[in-house]
């Protein structure tokens, strides 16, 4: 079974530039998560999709971050314009279970962003 795919693995940009990250979850997984992990910290949830609908984006800085999940499969996370504090690893995860079922999260390798 293929895992969660993310690209690019690494990206370096200047502040105020834009960047986009792509995630392909495990086939059949209904729930998709984007987490931001700053160095030395735990992952922080940015946005959560169930199929192609957003169920939680309470911690997404909506003035600069946007995300979409087309046809309930792939997802893209965009930052525009980037700030220095956006330097972090962006982790995509997916889960088979939705609703009330307990479910483990399967993570991709992450996309490491450096903003100069």
Partner 1 sequence: SQQGEEDPQALSIQEGENATMNCSYKTSINNLQWYRQNSGRGLVHLILIRSNEREKHSGRLRVTLDTSKKSSSLLITASRAADTASYFCATALYSGGYQKVTFGTGTKLQVIP
- Where along the sequence are the contacts to partner 1 (CB under 8 A)? 4, 31, 33, 35, 41-45, 48, 50, 55-56, 59, 91, 93, 95, 97-110, 112
Closest CA to 95 of 106, 83, 108, 81: 106
At 66, phi and psi to the nearest 5? -145, 155
Q: Cβ distance 24 to 74 under 8 Å?
A: yes
Q: How many CB atoms lie within 10 A of CB 12?
A: 12
Judged by beta carbon, residue 6 or residue 115, the one nearer partner 1 is 6
Judged by beta carbon, residue 12 or residue 55, the one nearer partner 1 is 55
Q: How far is the CB of 105 from partner 1 (least distance, A)?
A: 6
Q: How many helices (H) and strands (E) does the chain have?
A: 0, 11
Q: How far is the CB of 6 from partner 1 (least distance, A)?
A: 8
Judged by beta carbon, residue 59 or residue 114, the one nearer partner 1 is 59
Q: How far is the CB of 69 from partner 1 (least distance, A)?
A: 14
Asked, as a colleague might, if the bond just before 86 is cis with ω within 30 of 0, I would say no
Judged by beta carbon, residue 82 or residue 108, the one nearer partner 1 is 108
């Amino acid at each position: 079974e293929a895992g969660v795919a993310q690209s690019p693995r690494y990206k370096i940009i200047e502040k105020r530039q834009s960047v986009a990250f792509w995630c392909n979850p495990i086939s059949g997984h209904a729930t998709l998560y984007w987490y931001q992990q700053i160095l030395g910290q735990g992952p922080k949830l940015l946005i959560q999709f169930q199929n192609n609908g957003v169920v939680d984006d309470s911690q997404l800085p909506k003035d600069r971050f946007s995300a979409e999940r087309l046809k309930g499969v792939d997802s893209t996370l965009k930052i525009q314009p980037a700030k220095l504090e956006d330097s972090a690893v962006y982790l995509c995860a997916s889960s088979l279970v939705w609703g009330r079922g307990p479910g483990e999260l399967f993570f991709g390798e992450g996309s490491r962003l450096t903003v100069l």
